[in-house]
Amino acid sequence: MLNNIGLPGLLLIAVVVLVLFGRGKISSLMGEVGKGITSFKKGINEGQKELEEDASDLAKDVTPQSETDKDKA
């Protein structure tokens, strides 16, 4: 069904949406979409940093703690 739309159909849909909602509402809606995308990307980056910090904290420390550990190794 969606394979048959084409460029003229998309232009017609865009014009109908513009007439129904007006330019102001569409621009404010797109601004909100942009803010949402930005906050989503920020959240993803913060999550990745948190995971990296947790992984580095949990990394196994293989340095010997005393002289006796050095002799055993």
| Residue 66 is assigned to a structural domain of this protein | no
pLDDT at 42 over 90: yes
Residue 23 lies in a domain: yes
Q: Is residue 39 part of a domain?
A: yes
Looking at residue 36, what is its pLDDT?
95
The tokens describing 53, both together, are: 């910090």
Tell me what the pLDDT averaged over the chain comes to.
82
Average pLDDT on 35-44 reads 95
Residue 70 near residue 64, CB atoms below 8 Å: yes
Q: Which domain holds residue 32?
A: 19-43
- The residue that leads in pLDDT, 29 or 56, is 29
What digits encode the pLDDT tens for the residues 15-33? Answer: 998 888 888 888 888 899 9
Number of domains in the chain: 1
**What span, in angstroms and rounded, lies between the C-alpha atoms of 64 and 56?**
18
**pTM (whole model) above 0.85:** no
The answer to whether residue 27 sits within a structural domain is yes
